[in-house]
């Protein structure tokens, strides 16, 4: 990745204006964070690849939302079933 792009994404994330996709699967029950992106359009253009990968792993029901937030680790959160 271009170092300038990496810097811009890091700055946008630090300021809380970066775009992220919060993707939740049910089997297993996991929340994945995909990002950061400086522009919503860039996230939307690449999100289908991430979702297709999850579908190929037969992740059950998949829901997602696009959020403009500051996000850090962890980028994968396994949730307890009960």
Cα radius of gyration (the chain): 13
pLDDT digits (tens, 9 = 90+) for 33-70: 999 999 999 999 999 999 999 999 888 899 999 999 99
pLDDT of residue 33: 97
CA angle, corner 32, sides to 82 and 78, nearest 5? 30
Confidence band for 79, pLDDT divided at 50, 70 and 90: confident
Quote the pTM value.
0.86
- What pLDDT shows up at residue 82? 55
* Per-residue model confidence (pLDDT) at position 81: 62
């Amino acid at each position: 990745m271009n170092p300038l792009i990496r810097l811009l994404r890091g700055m946008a994330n630090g300021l809380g204006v970066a775009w992220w996709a919060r993707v939740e699967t049910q089997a297993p029950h996991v929340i994945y964070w995909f990002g950061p992106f400086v522009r919503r359009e860039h996230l939307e253009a690449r999100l289908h690849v991430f979702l297709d990968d999850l579908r190929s792993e037969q992740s059950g029901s998949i829901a997602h939302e696009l959020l403009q937030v500051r996000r850090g680790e962890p980028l994968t959160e396994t949730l307890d079933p009960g």
